[in-house]
Structure 1
Amino acid sequence: MKRGGPIPRRTPLVSVTPLRKQSKSRTSREKRRDETKARLLVRMRCFNNNGGLCEICGQREAADPAHRLATGRNGGWHSSNLIAACRPCHDQQRDGKGGEQLATMLGQVLPSRVNGEQPVPACVPVQLVYGRVYLDDAGGFTEAIT
């Protein structure tokens, strides 16, 4: 059964402008999402190195990734720049009561400049539970020969 004619439109038709060409550069939201994923992967790799225990004392569960070169000093989220640390060890590294000096001597904290240049965490050995080692960006380490 055929009904009446076409239904009248309540709104007038508007000419549609063609969509803008999508730029090939990523949006800031996509960049943040990718950066968050990368941080999560590095965190997981960092915590899995020592079975989830602190890499400094080896006794307590690791709670935080401790940056050897602080993010405020241009330290990034790279495996060679992170140590899985429990809260007391992490706080002791930055306490300002001599703990930072000891952590710097052990390579657990890096100074912002050495002879006018920024240190590269992968090139500076660090004293951890498994001995004096060089951390790499793949999440592993090699023994530092002294």
Structure 2
Amino acid sequence: MPLEIDCEDPEVRICSCCGHENLSLFRTIHDGENALAVYLVTLPAHAGFPVVVLLTMGRLDDDASPAERFAMAFQIVSQSAGYGTMIIEPSDAGWGESDFATLLSRAEARARFSKEIFAFSDLIIAVDPVIRSYLDASLTHGMSTVTRH
């Protein structure tokens, strides 16, 4: 069965630094029966910033402990020839700690989950309409090298 993403409506939040509305997304990636991963994204009000994703994999059921889940950060950028994905440090994405999962460094994430990260990134680009719209708008606004807003 192909992988799917539950795309609920985004939550609108006001940015504390600029007062603009940002969109917060919490998504579940599943195979029709089991949740395989969840991800969090906050999209700034203005296109042009990379999409920074906190992806969590492992046991996602309520009985699981944070030691049974692994979180990693990556960013997706629009490029003239498509999209690029780069695994980054969670701290560079604004996440210093997590009560939900064990945060992996960039090196740990690359060593353990590189294949999954890039496959999920491709799926997010293809299936998540809010992120795809933001990425496409970024092509016309120019990309920033800033990893968070």
Same fold (TM over 0.5): no
Larger Rg: 1
Give the number of the structure whose residues are more often strand, by fraction.
Answer: 2
What TM-score do you get using the length of structure 2 for normalisation? 0.27
